[in-house]
Amino acid sequence: MVNPRPGPIRVGQIERSDPEDITADPRYVAARLLVTVGGTPVGLATVELTDGKATAEQVRAAVDAQLGPEREVLPPATSTEPISVVIATRNRAESVQRCVRAVLAGDHPAVTVIVIDNDPADDSTRQVVEGFGRADVRYVRETRRGASVGRNRGLAEAETPIVAFTDDDTEPDVAWASRIAGAFAGDSGLACLSGPVFAARLDTDQEQASEFGLVWNKGFQGRRFRMSEPPPDSPIFPFSPGLYGIGANFAVRTDAGRRVGGMDEALGPGSPALGGEDGEFMVRLVLAGHAVAYLPGVFVWHHHRSSPDELRKQVRGYAMGLGAFLTKIALDRRAGLMAVRRLPAAVNQMRHISEREAAAGVGDSAGGDPASTNAERLRWMISGGSAYVRGRRAARQAGGRVPPLVRR
């Protein structure tokens, strides 16, 4: 990425063959553009703005310089096969309304939206959902908290062969659902897929640190992962949860998701561990012999955390979730034996992640500094292990799901 001068960054999307003038609020110092070919993302480009403006010629020059020569891009497969979209939420009615509107604005004609309201404090989310007045937008109240609990409830409620999951703070692309359905229709061996998560806004330092440091976009080349085809660039495969994607944008064949036991309810937001549920689920699918894909054409826009406290809480959740995930591996004898051989590579990857987040200013934006943030991250990871043990016990006592990492 070209580093702009400090200040708010405008977010946008352009078709590479048809760049246009940019006219934004003068406070924006740059534009961060998702560049597409036929609606399929091929890269991100940053354009410097003067008084919030740039000409189409300047946009084209920046795109060509940063993305290189144009290349042929095959359009993603699409399908109208029915699909369910599950949105697990708690006390965020306005976000739910925005997300559901985006899903319904998509080009797929047979989508059922299932909003799972986890132990809500009031009826505001129910009122928002019922306000759509549509049979294909369903409200389900879940008495227990937790994103994994909500997603499992959605997986159980779904009546379609494919279930897509997104978070209430996203806005899926117009072709999101049809491309998910098309990917599964065209690959009978595919059990799960994920796609990029791009920033919807980059107005604050915290939003920028999240985008450039936490890296929810895994690139612009499609990939397919399975145990029989280990990727050469991931020495810790399959125990690399960040390789596959994140919970804000993934989908699964309903039967495959149910067969592996759904999400681990001792992991994820709302659990003592605070995170780790999405990566663990995809790792578990791969260990079970399934194929998991990453498709750049299946993308959503995400409203990142915009304040230091929110970003700090998110970084803490990711660190604790990683510690919880590692603890789950250690508690599984077969998985632990597989993972120990990958320990040196895992340490190197952790170092790389810390350096990347420091370079993006994650520590500064979260109200700390790189040294203190790294020390805190280590403490959070350690506490994530004990949190997972507590959460596993609580989930089982509540009759929840805590599937083993490796099936016997």
pLDDT of residue 218: 85
pLDDT score of 209: 87
**Of the given ranges (66-70, 97-101, 236-240, 347-351), which has the lowest mean pLDDT?**
347-351
Residue % of the chain over a pLDDT of 70: 91
Cα three-residue angle 47-210-382, rounded to 5 degrees: 155
Whether 405 shows a pLDDT value over 60: the answer reads yes
Is the pLDDT reported for residue 208 higher than 60?
yes
**370 has a pLDDT exceeding 60:** no
**What are the C-alpha distances in Å from 115 to residues 145, 182, 241, 262, 343?**
14, 23, 26, 17, 39
The pLDDT value recorded for residue 235 is 87
- Per-residue pLDDT, 367: 54
pLDDT at 347 over 80: no
Residue with more model confidence, 363 or 16:
16
Query: What band does 314 get if pLDDT is binned at 50, 70 and 90?
Result: confident
Task: Return the minimum-mean-pLDDT range out of 1-5, 82-86, 326-330, 372-376.
Answer: 1-5
Q: Return d(Cα 145, Cα 136) in angstroms, integer.
A: 24
| Overall average pLDDT of the 254-260 stretch | 98
- 339 pLDDT exceeds 70? yes
Q: What is the mean pLDDT of the segment spanning 162-174? A: 98
Residue with tokens 């072709």: 175
Model pLDDT, residue 152: 98
> pLDDT at position 336, please?
85
**pLDDT at residue number 337:** 84
pLDDT in tens, 17-60: 999 999 999 999 999 999 999 999 999 999 999 999 999 999 99
Looking at residue 186, its pLDDT comes to: 97
Least confident of 3-17, 191-205, 286-300: 3-17
pLDDT beyond 80 at 325: yes
